[in-house]
Amino acid sequence: MRTIKRERQRPPLAGRCRCRKRKWPRPQRWARRQRRRVRSRVPPWSGDTGSKMAALAESLSLERDVARAIELLEKLQRSGNVPPQKLQTLQRVLQSKFCSAIREVYEQLYETLDISGSPEIRAHATAKATVAAFAASEGHAHPRVVELPKTEEGLGFNIMGGKEQNSPIYISRIIPGGVADRHGGLKRGDQLLSVNGVSVEGEQHEKAVELLKAAQGTVKLVVRYTPKVLEEMEARFEKMRTARRRQQHNSYSSLESRG
What was the pLDDT predicted at 229? Answer: 72
- Residue 70: helix, strand or coil by DSSP? helix
226 is a domain residue: yes
Q: pLDDT band at residue 176, thresholds of 50, 70 and 90?
A: very high
Residues 131 and 211 in one domain: no
Q: pLDDT band at residue 44, thresholds of 50, 70 and 90?
A: very low
The beta-carbon contacts of 175-182 under 8 Å, at least 24 apart in sequence, are: 178/153, 178/154, 179/148, 179/149, 179/150, 179/151, 179/153, 179/154, 179/155, 180/148, 180/155, 180/156, 181/156, 182/156
Alpha helices in the chain (DSSP H): 27-41, 50-58, 63-79, 84-95, 97-112, 119-136, 179-183, 205-214, 227-258
Give the integer Cα–Cα distance in Å for 152 and 155. 9
Domain boundary among 82, 113, 136: 136
Mean pLDDT is highest, among 68-77, 99-108, 116-125, 132-141, for 68-77
What was the pLDDT predicted at 128? Answer: 77
Give the integer Cα–Cα distance in Å for 145 and 92. 21
Give the integer Cα–Cα distance in Å for 24 and 13. 11
* Tens of pLDDT, residues 21-37: 555 555 566 666 666 66
User: Is the CB of residue 210 less than 8 Å from the CB of residue 138?
Assistant: no
Mean pLDDT is highest, among 71-80, 95-104, 228-237, for 71-80
What was the pLDDT predicted at 55? Answer: 45
Q: What is the mean pLDDT of residues 228-248?
A: 76
Residues 128 and 87 in one domain: yes
What was the pLDDT predicted at 158? Answer: 92
What was the pLDDT predicted at 39? Answer: 52
Residues 93 and 150 in one domain: no
Residue 96 domain boundaries = 63-136
Residues 131 and 150 in one domain: no
Strand residue runs (E) in 113-189? 144-149, 157-162, 167-174
Dihedral of CA 101/169/135/225: which sign?
negative
Q: pLDDT band at residue 49, thresholds of 50, 70 and 90?
A: very low
Residues 111 and 78 in one domain: yes
Q: Which percentage of the chain shows pLDDT scores above 90?
A: 10
Residue 238 has pLDDT above 70, yes or no: yes
CATH at 217: 2.30.42.10
User: Is the CB of residue 174 less than 8 Å from the CB of residue 188?
Assistant: yes
Q: pLDDT band at residue 254, thresholds of 50, 70 and 90?
A: low
Q: What is the mean pLDDT of residues 234-259?
A: 70
97 is a domain residue: yes
Domains identified in the chain, total number: 2
238 is a domain residue: no
Residue 174 has pLDDT above 80, yes or no: yes
Give the integer Cα–Cα distance in Å for 189 and 203. 18
Classify residue 145 as exposed, middle or buried by CB count within 10 Å of its CB (0-12, 13-18, 19+): buried
Give the integer Cα–Cα distance in Å for 239 and 237. 5
Q: What is the pTM of this model?
A: 0.46
CATH at 82: 1.10.287.650
User: Is the CB of residue 223 less than 8 Å from the CB of residue 191?
Assistant: yes
What was the pLDDT predicted at 201? Answer: 86
Domain boundary among 88, 108, 136: 136
